[in-house]
């Protein structure tokens, strides 16, 4: 689909509600940014399409409830990302605990999410206005070179 039109209020038309429900997952480019629209359990979600970790597409990721939050699981490396906030979750344990018990921990917001609204059977997205760098920005071609270089170095060292 071509870039969507932008009406007043920063809302971008994404598609008809019935069609998006039937599709379950839809890819759109809005303001030059690739986003994934997900319909799950009667709710629409929108987030950057490429995983913050290594740029894998989230379109075919499984959705699971993790620690009380609905999360999409990146098919590439199994990273867990909450649908509502874009929070990265991981399972770990504190070795100082006796006995150490595995728990879910937050990495903070890693994936940029966007606001979805419905009007008269039409679905609109308002792009995130959250300031500052979010890791998924890297795979959207954002121009912050210092963060890109940092990400490239980490990728080289830890992969």
pLDDT tens-digit map of 85-143: 999 999 999 888 899 899 999 999 999 999 999 999 999 999 998 899 999 999 997 54
- Tell me the per-residue pLDDT of 9-68, one tens digit each, with 9 for 90 and over: 689 999 999 999 999 999 999 989 999 999 999 999 999 999 999 999 999 999 999 999
Distances (CA, A) of 148 to 33, 49, 78, 140: 17, 18, 22, 11
């Amino acid at each position: 689909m071509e870039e969507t039109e932008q009406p007043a209020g920063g809302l971008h038309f994404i598609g008809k509600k019935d069609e998006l429900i039937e599709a379950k997952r839809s890819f759109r480019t809005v303001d030059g940014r690739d986003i994934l629209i997900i319909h799950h359990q009667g709710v629409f979600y929108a987030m950057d399409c490429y995983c913050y970790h290594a740029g894998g597409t989230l379109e075919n990721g499984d959705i699971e409830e993790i620690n009380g939050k609905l999360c999409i699981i990146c098919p590439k490396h199994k990273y867990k990302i909450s649908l509502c906030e874009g929070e990265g979750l991981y399972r770990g344990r504190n070795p100082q605990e006796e006995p150490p018990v595995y728990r879910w921990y937050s990495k903070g917001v890693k994936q940029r999410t966007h606001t979805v609204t419905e009007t008269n059977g039409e679905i609109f997205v308002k792009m995130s206005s959250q300031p500052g760098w979010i890791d998924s920005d890297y795979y959207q071609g954002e121009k912050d070179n210092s963060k890109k270089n940092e990400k490239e170095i980490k990728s080289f060292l830890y992969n």
